[in-house]
Chains A and B, each alone.
Chain A
Amino acid sequence: MAEERRQKHCSVVLPTESMKAMAESVGVGQLQEDSCVALSEEVSYRIKEIAQDALKFMHHGKRRKLTTSDIDNALKLKNVEPLYGFQSQEFIPFRFASGGGRELHFYEEKEADLSDIINTPLPRVPLDVSLKAHWLSIEGMQPAIPENPPPATKEQQKAESTEPLKVVKPGQEEEGTIQGKSQGTTTPDGKGKEKGLIRLKPRSTHELSVEQQLYYKEITEACVGSCEAKRAEALQSIATDPGLYQMLPRFSTFISEGVRVNVVQNNLALLIYLMRMVKALMDNPTLYLEKYLHELIPAVVTCIVSKQLCLRPDVDNHWALRDFAARLMAQSCKTFSTTTNNIQSRITKTFTKSWLDDKTQWTTRYGCIAGLAELGSDVIKTLIIPRLAVEGARIKAVMEGPVVSNIDKIGAEHVQSLLLKHCASVIAKLRPQPDNVDQYRTDYGYLGPMLCSHVMKARTQAALQAQQVNRTTLTITQPRPTLSVSQSGLSGSSGPRTPSIIKVPSSLTLMSPRPGTPSQPSPPATKYIVMATSAGAASTQQVITLSSSQSASPVTSTVPSATSTLQPLVKLESGSGAGLTASRPLQKYIVVSLPSSASSSLETKSSVLPTSISSSSLDGGMKLERSESPGASTQSPH
């Protein structure tokens, strides 16, 4: 085993062609074959020697990854001038070129314009080193806190839930099975299954420990209680704590029952709280939610399309709840939809059906459109845009026709602005440049002129973004891009924020290996750059400021503001995930969580730029608009 590997090691020598190429690069033209052979052997030997020394530095640096500085140090040992100017990067973009029967890999060095560098705003100063203490073990027991690895990993939970029916396709909802009480029981169960399929998993009754019961009580009370600070804390806990999987069924029931009751009672505030709980659950990277989708999805859909969600539909901002729930729905479609459960297509059908129904109320209509629009530009293109004319006529009937009721009018207005908002960017991409108002009118009817102006606005914005992008290109090549993850992820001694940021990449990566979703061709090589700009300390503050703003304004504003902190993650990825990605060889996802709409014009810029390097500027523009939109909606209710 090891021997074979070793034998491969022993005669690796650089090809003589490389010697020639290197000789040419330093001006030696005709190198004889013999010299090449001699050189390549010598060079290979020296390189190996240096690599072995570099390894020593890696070990003493307590790392698993060899870095360029290790090589530098190894060269220093040999009294050789180190190779200055190489930064270790996660990904060294060697480029391949061939021509004239020669193949070359080279490191591309772009020319940098100094004035650009000077004009670029300075990147944020990295946070200083700090210490954070946590309990790894208490008298031999490891506590289930976010700082420790989850007691049962997602895979374990999944294995547990799929255990009795191993034939079940992965990802499907296992409604009948209830996960075992403790991890310890899994292995014997696995053995038992071999004997006969009749033997079911013991239906453990999910006994929660006293602490867990207390926790459950506290959390649920805080989530639906009146204290906003407490709620933020509780949601934080749901989103980050690794040991929740045992309580998951209870939370799920709590939410679905809660929605059922509160829809009937038209209690908007509670519905919002419950949706935020769903959001938090989905954000928790350690939970295997698939099993509870049957409870959660109906609850979410209810909040999108229900006829009435509040007591005074003319005053209360139930639209924001619908928006938020629609985004949740889109997120769960992305994360959980597979070829077997077909969540996305089922949901799409549901929405379309009720939208097409003439008798549907404006509120439900709004919800359907919002739900569809959040599913991505492909859905907008195929399902919404063709119906713009019909919908326009309907809106016109309400707006310009005889005054029926105030509620209808408000509904129509909201539907109109919703359509404009979502369709403009898509149309901007679909239609060729000259935007003719008349042309729009003929194509889209009543909404045409308004669409036209929106599209033009979208275009100028995109162009603006493209400019900014070019200017700030240099910030990308900052050293250590990888570190920003851990840095922001664990920053600040406040802690609680930690995994919510770390989770981001993991929830994203979940999507890529899933080829099933037809609308979303997975890009060949996916690279995630997570530029989470909100540091731990900053983000906790953020939560606080949020709550303070809520105390000033009525409850309705909670939802949009909550979205503004978290939503961009989803939105961005939806923007880049669909449509344009297929042709691109290398897709970069930029995930930015905006600390607040005001504070970070800088972040927005830098966040958009990497995408636009690899893709069209339009794309970047659209993304920016999307990431900013929740911020805008925050202001609207006031």
Chain B
Amino acid sequence: MIALTGKNQSYVLVLYGLCFPLIHVAHAQFILKMAAVQGGMGDADIKTDIKTEPSADGFGNNNANDGRVLSASPGSSSSTGSNKQTAAVTPEDQQTLLAVLQFLKKNKLSESVEILRREAGLPENSLDPKANESAGAGSGGAAGIVDLEGGDASSLLSRVTGSSSAGAQAPTKGTVQSGSGRDQPDVSVVLSAYSQQGDPTLYKVYYRDLKKFIETVLDCHRAELSQVFYPLFVHMYLELVYNNHESEAKAFFEKFSGDQECYYEEDLRILSGLTKKEHMRGNETLLDFRTSKFVLRISRDSYQLLKRHLQERQNNQIWNIIQEHLYIDIFDGMPRSKSQIDAMSGSLAGEAKREANKTKVYYGLLKEPEIELPLDDEDEEAENEEGKPKKKKPKKDSVGSKSKKQDPNAPSQNRIPLPELKDSDKLDKIMYMKEATKRIRLGPDNLPSVCFYTFLNAYQGLTAVDLTDDSSLIAGGFADSTVRVWSVTPKKLRKVKSAADLNLIDKESDDVLERIMDEKTASESKIMYGHSGPVYGISFSPDRNYLLSSSEDGTVRLWSLLTFTCLVAYKGHNYPVWDTQFSPYGYYFVSGGHDRVARLWATDHYQPLRIFSGHLADITCTRFHPNSNYVATGSSDRTIRLWDVLSGNCVRIFTGHKGPIHSLAFSPNGKFLASGATDGRVLLWDIGHGLMVGELKGHTDTIYSLRFSRDGEILASGSMDNTVRLWDAMKAFDDLETDDFTAATGHIHLQDNSQELLLGTYTTKSTPVIHLHFTRRNLLLAAGVSQL
């Protein structure tokens, strides 16, 4: 089943692509919806996740670099991460399932239908008999594919059926559920969620009525209830459009769009273009809106107020929308203030549900492997440095973790299998520790120096930059599909000799690593060709032997920095891949792109190990947690999600940004996350509590780069507005008021202290800052390309 859905997704996506030009093909609409309900399909997999976990636990042993990966079978590797915590088959999910079934049946995929139905525990006759009237176009070609899938699926069948009982006893939702009144799910409802008709002319009246009501309620409730406006507005508008009341829809939009919060402007602009039912097919924003419920957090009092009002007025139209398309997360206690609400709202699908952030996250760092560093070794080490090429592996965690005992918040050392340390890694570790002793203690009175690398003559457009941890290499991805690597130390870049020449080398000699390098190829920079589209993401492996790049062409490529050639092209994202990053321990990497899923890969597997799906729009940036057990992704849906690498589950959803997120940074101690977006704000998050803990205002344009200093005292942010800003991260995190109430409800009250926290602003000469990096000694390096 898992494999089935995984493949079906890509199959559907392919179809989606094919169908775009033939928009009038009758089934296109259906297929498009299918593509959009991937999230929903993920829900169906939820039961299998329970199953996956123990199997992954199977690798307690730490020797994972012998080719073992997170999951043993390729089938389970594509298990879709599901963000929804409710494992029960909600009516919505059921509808989705039915829609999927219908689609399969239409395409004569009876075997899959059978499996799916069995898994979902649906009765035989639940399918609408009308559905099989029409045989889908292109079913001939599809049948072959599905046969394969069927085979795959049946092998997994036993597992799936076994687990389905476990899923059934999952807790049901405790809060007010929207669709609770609906006993018999109807397929047509999924297909036309907006088919219910009211008098189109009354929509305005309804909305105005509600508006008037909310404006007259007590101040403390008004702010909370005002949250309802935006989702209501959108759904009412879409309903009007769907039912072909074009002029009414336009009038409705013009009348009320001005009332919406300014941070929804982007979405409203998309909505405003949409005036016909036909447009609704294939519009992603809209599909997001329909398939995901807009989440609101409202206090019980306010909710009662609203409910009473709507019932009194018999305002069923609005009540229905609230029931069907909104998820109201009710809490007991004081209603929140306007500023509190504004801080958290802004995402495409409302705020995160409270229970979404309740899972425990092991944010602590892994224990450092003990490396003997005898004092008399110093000199010997120094010799080694001179004589041997530096081929060592850095570790990203702070060197300050001298405590030998395990951090209670850290995951167990072997929670996910990590590659074993090689000798060269240990050498590098020692180097790192030595450097760390020379590190400058930063603080408000001791700001770091900033060295700026300007890319000259980059008329083809610089799109991505990365530096190695030891700051010896810098790589740039360009819009002309090239990847270039420079050495910023006097040490030149050299290729390995050809195979014939390598044969001649004495393999026993001490300096064999030096001998394999071809002196003739030494140069300051190397160009690597291979992509066929702009390179949007780039990342060095911690051991400096590899480089990853992700591109518009839908591939992620792994390059060798010994031969300067491409080793692997990882295919999976069929759309532009916006970002990619290596794990701090190497071996794993994550990528995310336009297809709204993030994928976790291992360098020696050509298929992803995990697929993290749940974002409602493009994934714009990806970051590994310092302990490598979690992955954070930022998205155009204006949320940040934290995924557990082990289970593939989404463990945190952070909302509050008002624009697509373009940069993320974990604090070196793993406790906090900083994020920057097109709205020019940096938000700080406490991972353990799942709370927003700070807001740094100052930038006036997209923040493309964020980095904590090595000891976490300073946060540096680089932006399109041509500035590098330094923030007092210590103070920002110290000032936290972490009383239990805040932690429990998640209602933060942010003080506006951006100006106090801002330590410095450095303007460049019309050069947007697109990358920042702290060297091991806490010198800040910045990179960008001049826009003069």
* Chain A residues within 8 Å of B, Cβ to Cβ: 2-4, 6-7, 9-11, 41-42, 44-45, 48-49, 52, 56-57, 59-64, 69, 73, 76-80, 126-140, 142, 147-149, 480, 483, 485-487, 489-493, 502
Contact = CB atoms under 8 A, between A and B. Distances in A.
Contacts of A128: 457
Given A79-B17, A140-B760, A486 B620 contact: no
B459 A483 contact: yes
B236 interface: no
Interface stretch (B129-137, B312-320, B445-453): B445-453
Contact of B447 (A3, A80, A137, A491): A137
A10 B479 contact: no
Given A485-B788, A486-B787, A61 B765 contact: no
Nearest to B17: A79
B594 A77 contact: yes
A142 B447 contact: no
Contacts of B765: 147-149
Contact of A129 (B451, B476, B678): B476
A136 B662 contact: no
A136 B449 CA distance: 8
B763 interface: yes
B453 A133 contact: yes
Nearest to B479: A61
Given A44-B273, A490-B454, A131 B446 contact: no
Given A11-B250, A77-B576, A80-B21, A137 B594 contact: no
Interface string B584-596: 0000000000100
Nearest to B763: A149
A6 B787 CA distance: 29
A367 to B, nearest CB: 39
Contacts of A64: 701, 720, 787
Interface string B761-784: 011110010100000000000100
Query: Most A CB atoms within 10 A — which of B456, B478, B479?
Result: B456
Given A80-B21, A129-B476, A7 B254 contact: yes
B457 A61 contact: no
A134 B762 contact: no
B720 A131 contact: no
Nearest to B269: A9
A131 B486 contact: yes
A7 B257 contact: yes
Given A62-B463, A77-B594, A489-B788, 6 more contacts: A2-B262, A10-B273, A134-B451, A136-B452, A137-B450, A493-B456
Nearest to B255: A7
B681 to A, nearest CB: 16
B618 A56 contact: yes
A584 B759 CA distance: 52
B176 interface: no
Contacts of A138: 449
Given A9-B272, A69-B479, A137 B788 contact: no
Query: Most A CB atoms within 10 A — which of B253, B272, B575, B618?
Result: B272
Contacts of B458: 129
Please list the 5 inter-chain residue pairs (A to B) with the smallest Cβ-Cβ separation, ordered nearest first. A10-B272, A140-B447, A3-B258, A483-B459, A136-B450
30 contacts: A6-B268, A6-B272, A7-B254, A7-B257, A10-B253, A45-B276, A49-B283, A52-B269, A57-B576, A64-B701, A73-B533, A78-B20, A128-B457, A129-B455, A129-B456, A129-B484, A131-B474, A133-B451, A135-B452, A136-B451, A137-B449, A137-B760, A139-B447, A139-B448, A142-B763, A485-B788, A486-B786, A487-B456, A487-B457, A492-B456
Interface string B455-476: 1111111110000000000101
A59 B552 contact: no
B534 A61 contact: yes
Contacts of B678: 59
B764 A148 contact: yes
B257 A10 contact: yes
A401 B594 CA distance: 89
Given A73-B533, A491-B456, A60 B620 contact: yes
B20 A135 contact: no
Contacts of A48: 270, 273
Contacts of B624: none
Contacts of A56: 594, 618, 636
A490 B786 contact: yes
Contacts of A76: 552
A349 B678 CA distance: 58
A486 B459 contact: yes
A142 B788 CA distance: 20
Nearest to B263: A2
Contact of B762 (A60, A132, A142, A487): A142
A78 B446 CA distance: 51
B18 interface: yes
B714 to A, nearest CB: 11
Contacts of A134: 451-452, 454
B536 interface: yes
B46 interface: no
B75 to A, nearest CB: 30
Contacts of B274: 45
Nearest to A52: B270
A351 B393 CA distance: 75
A490 B788 contact: yes
B265 A6 contact: yes
A44 B265 CA distance: 19
A80 B257 contact: no
A10 B762 contact: no
Interface in B524-563: 525, 533-534, 536, 552
Contacts of A140: 447, 759-760
Given A62-B704, A136-B724, A140-B760, A490 B479 contact: no
B506 interface: no
B112 interface: no
A60 B550 CA distance: 12
B462 A62 contact: yes
B447 A133 contact: no
Interface string B428-452: 0000000000000000001111111
Nearest to A69: B479
Query: Most B CB atoms within 10 A — which of A127, A129, A140, A502?
Result: A129
Contacts of B724: 136-137
Contacts of B259: 3
A7 B454 contact: no
Nearest to A499: B765
B685 interface: no
A119 B258 CA distance: 60
Interface in B237-290: 250, 253-254, 257-259, 262, 265, 268-270, 272-276, 278-279, 283
A79 B460 CA distance: 24
Contacts of B785: 62
Given A133-B453, A139-B447, A6 B258 contact: yes
Query: Most B CB atoms within 10 A — which of A2, A59, A63, A136?
Result: A136
Contacts of B660: 59
Interface string B1-44: 00000000000000001101100000000000000000000000
B191 interface: no
B457 A130 contact: yes
Nearest to A490: B456
Query: Most B CB atoms within 10 A — which of A49, A61, A131?
Result: A131
B207 interface: no
Query: Most A CB atoms within 10 A — which of B474, B552, B720?
Result: B552
